[in-house]
Structure 1
Amino acid sequence: MQQEIELAIGPDHIHDQDYILRQGAKQLNISPKRINGIYIRKRSIDARSKQVVFRLRIVFYIDEHPQPFCYQSTLKNVRDAKPVIIIGAGPAGLFAAYRCLERGLKPIILERGKPVRERRRDLAKINREGIVNPESNYCYGEGGAGTYSDGKLYTRSNKRGDVHKVLSIFVEHGADEDILIDARPHIGTNKLPHIIESMRHKILEMGGEVHFETKVVDIVEKFGQVHSVKTENGHTFCAEHVILATGHSARDIFQLFRNKNWLLEAKPFALGVRIEHPQHIIDSAQYHCAVRHDNLPPAYYSLVEQVNNRGVFSFCMCPGGIIAPCATDFDEIVVNGWSPSKRNNPHANSGTVIQINLDDVPNAATNPFALLDFQRAVEHKAYQLGGGNFVAPAQRMVDFVENRVSLDLPKNSYKPGTRSVDLNEVLPDFVHTALRKALPLFGKKMRGYYTNEAILVGVESRTSSPVRIPRDKETLQHPQIKGLYPCAEGAGYAGGIVSAAIDGINCVDAIKI
């Protein structure tokens, strides 16, 4: 017999399975000897009261042997199967390829950037030398933007597809099994490269293809049906189905669509700054303690406030994390955040952003590039005020709210360096006005948040694509081009690793075979 119950377990006992078993037996009113094993289905932290506890949903195996969950993909050899071209090797592209193997289709991945481990050299040049490779950076390359600037797998997209399947495939390729049970699963940027490599090796083993440093420069259609794609190095790949999973920063793909008069539309996105605190401030506020318990992870937060009928909210919060330079061109500043698996860095950072709507930018209703041009102008202004070499404009939090340039800046995790500026000169008026009003309100919600020990680093601008590539709701194909499937973040249909992976799977499932 199996019984599932919820237990509240303090940090002192969270790793003590015998204690958890005894507590379960007590709640079930049975002898502990009848319990032959347990399976933790869900784990979350409840810090609403002064006594922080873990809340566990646990299956107890009573008078029967446990049957542990074990997921294993069923993949087919597709060496001679029907081809599907997948443009981009981010989570959408990789999981689309994986789904192709399950369905008996041959995935051919074309990735403009480099293999995941080779990307590291180019990331080091951004951090140390202020040099960006436009084809290999935090956004472009195997694994996509999330590999080196995220690592979090938290999503609310359960209605879109099977989240558990996505997480299980990650586990199958080396992720910790904890991601299957944690309420806020996190792989860690340091572990993702190995997992991504493992997925690529499986795709190749089963007959798929992966081509790196292969930038797509044209998508060819004949009589309204996709026919082939052409690459910068002169190769042509033919297929009746093309999944476009290029990510939110592939502006050249948007330009390609514009040149061909294919449908595009402006899409709202969010813009703001990345805010970094010493991690101990967040721990103290969230866990109601002077020193965080060793068995508690570095604390996270989620904050939202309405200011002048506009939402201001935290985004992509990284406990024990690092702020990263995520520009894709030489004359822009873009920041993001990531955390290693242990989340053991001394700072906590989060994007803090404001929604940019179509009516905020002139002609956005008729010009699909209006919000993209707006985004680009802010990023360029940030680069200018930073002074070059990807030094980012920054300001202490209270100084920003009180309209004064900081005399100095706190130690922070952004490696190219920060420069004290008035961020009002970087951010559009309605953005910095909303931020200035929201930050003290956040401080009322979370003790210690509103402090001059915190630094605002500009700009957080690649929260999602400012352009959407339309697709039919049923077929997921572009309205004008049969066989072309706009996919995930780059087309405006996802917002993170897991949701992008699900969208990649859904696009393959839309292919009729």
Structure 2
Amino acid sequence: LRQGTVMEDSNYCFGEGGAGTFSDGKLFTRATKRGPVREVYEIFVAHGAPREILTDAHPHIGSNLLPSVVKAIRESILSAGGEIHFNARVEHLLRSADGRRIRGAVCADGREFAADAVLLATGHSARDVYRMMLAEGLALEQKPFAVGVRIEHPQAFVDARQYHLRPDRKRPEQLPAARYSVTTTIRDRGVHSFCMCPGGFIVPAATENDEVVVNGMSLARRDSPFANAGFVVSVHPEDTESFRREHGVLAGVAYQKALETASSRAGGGMQKAPAQKVEDFLNGRVSSSLLPTSYHPGITSHPLHELLPGEIVWRMREGLRQFDHKWRGFAGASAQLIGCETRTSSPVRIPRDPATLEHPGLEGLYPCGEGAGYAGGIVSAALDGRRCAEAMARQMSR
């Protein structure tokens, strides 16, 4: 990032840990009906995560600790007889003679891996996998997702509001950096905060060099002077109609990509991001100056109300006004927007049989996790992976 470039085959959204490593290991989940959540937490603790995640209401590992946890998980896989192959981008699926069953995969460097079953768990940013599947005649489906920006406040402001502190009082050291969650519905579309990072940083999350994408992370101590959260609006398949004629089922991906390349141009290159004070966004004017930020590549003043689609802008404005009415200052002079946040979830679902969990067009292929459209975070993806692994084992035993 010092050169403002992205390694497109190996970056913070792919590989060991993926976005979870570059992010901060938020483990809070509402997916309690999907499986044994505590067992997922215990696996993390067994590999070096702090024991506090077993009891915290909103468990969190931290960007500085999570990489070593993921490396320890890798060592467990190797010690159990598994293999790890880095720099192995899949370009083609091997099939049986009749084309009905998977037989392995071919990588970009020509290596072939034979297999009786393949778990496809690529994360929500491996767009080349979607294109590969379409080229091989495998069905995909559009699904809702969300886009917007990161909203950033001073952490002291969030602390004061959540802990009811006087303006001259700092948060007591015994209390954690305060967090928040806001949500509403405006004309059949959700407007909500996403992946709130108390004491955190806004970070780049692009996967190609013509994009700017922002995300959020926190270290274990959550001691940054800034708080940030995704501030996003739901996008339904019908909202991407203008992209469908050219891109078909990948219309949502094209919608995301258009915003990301526009953000890159607006930022001026080198992964600089377009930004605007919230008050200026609400009043439709360019910010003559910008506030301090945690986003290290830098920010450029740009009218986000012109960059984002109109149906996103007016819903964001209404949502900001609603939240400011309930929480005075949320849309005030200390708040700033940085764009764009587009990778909240996959805009594509890879279909699978509800009983066997296999792709209906290819026996032995198990779409899994966030990239397949069946999870929305670390824990739900882990639970889905467990479920798919058990389905694979049952099939192999037969």
Say if 2:48 is the partner of 1:174: yes
Aligned mates of 2:5, 2:242 — CA distance in 1: 34
- Cα deviation, residue 364, structure 1: 7.4
> More relative contact order in 1 or in 2 (CA 8 Å, sep 6+)?
2
CA RMSD of aligned residues (A): 1.2
Query: 2:38 & 2:121 partners in 1: Cα distance?
Result: 22
Deviation at 1:319, TM superposition (A): 0.2
Larger radius of gyration: 1
- Distance in 2 (CA, whole Å) between partners of 1:244 and 1:347 is 37
- Deviation of 1:219 (Å): 1.0
User: 1:326: Cα distance to partner?
Assistant: 0.3
Q: Does 1:132 align with 2:3?
A: no
CA contact (8 A) 2:189 2:235 kept: no
Structure 1 residue ranges without an equivalent (≥5): 1-125
The question of 1:360 aligning with 2:234 is answered: no
Corresponding letter in the other structure for 1:356: V
- Equivalent of residue 423 in structure 1, options 293, 298, 304: 304
TM-score for both structures, normalised by structure 2:
0.95
What's the secondary structure of 1:444's corresponding residue? Answer: helix
Q: Residues 68-467 of structure 1 correspond to what in structure 2 (within 5 A)? A: 126=1, 128-222=2-96, 223=98, 224-290=100-166, 291-362=170-241, 367-467=248-348
Match of 1:486 in 2: 367
Mapped partners of 1:229, 1:280: distance in 2:
51
3-state secondary structure, aligned to 1:132: coil
Runs of 4+ in 1 over 3 A off after TM superposition: 363-366
Indicate if the aligned counterparts of 1:275 and 1:457 stay in contact, CA closer than 8 A.
Answer: yes
Q: CA deviation at 1:448?
A: 2.5
Deviations 1:120-157 (A, max 9, x none): xxxxxx2x220110012220120111111232111111
- Give the whole-Å Cα distance in 1 for the aligned partners of 2:242 and 2:186: 24
366-375 vs 472-481, greater mean Cα deviation: 366-375
Which SS does the other structure have where 1:465 is aligned? coil
Instruction: Say which SS state the counterpart of residue 353 (structure 1) adopts.
Output: strand
After superposition, give the CA deviation of every residue in 1:38-90 in whole Å (9 maximum; x if it has no partner): xxxxxxxxxxxxxxxxxxxxxxxxxxxxxxxxxxxxxxxxxxxxxxxxxxxxx
Q: For residues 212 and 347 of structure 2, what CA distance do their matches in structure 1 show?
A: 17
1:308 Cα offset (Å) = 2.6
The CA deviation at 1:309 is: 3.0
> How big is each residue's C-alpha offset from its partner over 1:286-317, in whole Å with a ceiling of 9 and x where there is no partner?
01013212111000000012223321000000
User: Is the CA contact 1:399–1:452 (under 8 Å) kept in the aligned structure 2?
Assistant: no
Letter in 2 for 1:152: K
1:473 aligns with 354
The one-letter code matched in structure 2 to 1:496 is G
Quote how far apart the aligned CAs of 1:365 are.
8.0
Q: Which amino acid aligns with 1:361?
A: T
The size of the alignment, in residue pairs, is: 387
Q: Which amino acid is the alignment partner of residue 458 of structure 1?
A: G
Matched letter for residue 190 of structure 2: G
TM-score (norm 1): 0.74
Deviations 1:319-375 (Å, cap 9, x if unpaired)?
A: 000001000000011100000000000000000100000111217789211111111
TM superposition shift of 1:220: 1.3
- Over residues 224-249 of structure 1, what are the superposed CA-to-partner deviations in whole Å (9 max), with x where a residue is unaligned? 11101011121111111100000100
Structure 2, gaps ≥5 residues long: none
Secondary structure at 1:274's aligned position in 2? strand
Secondary structure at the counterpart of residue 443 of structure 1? helix
Alignment partners' CA distance in 2, 1:363 and 1:239: 40
- Give the corresponding residue for 1:501: 382
Partner residue, 1:84: none
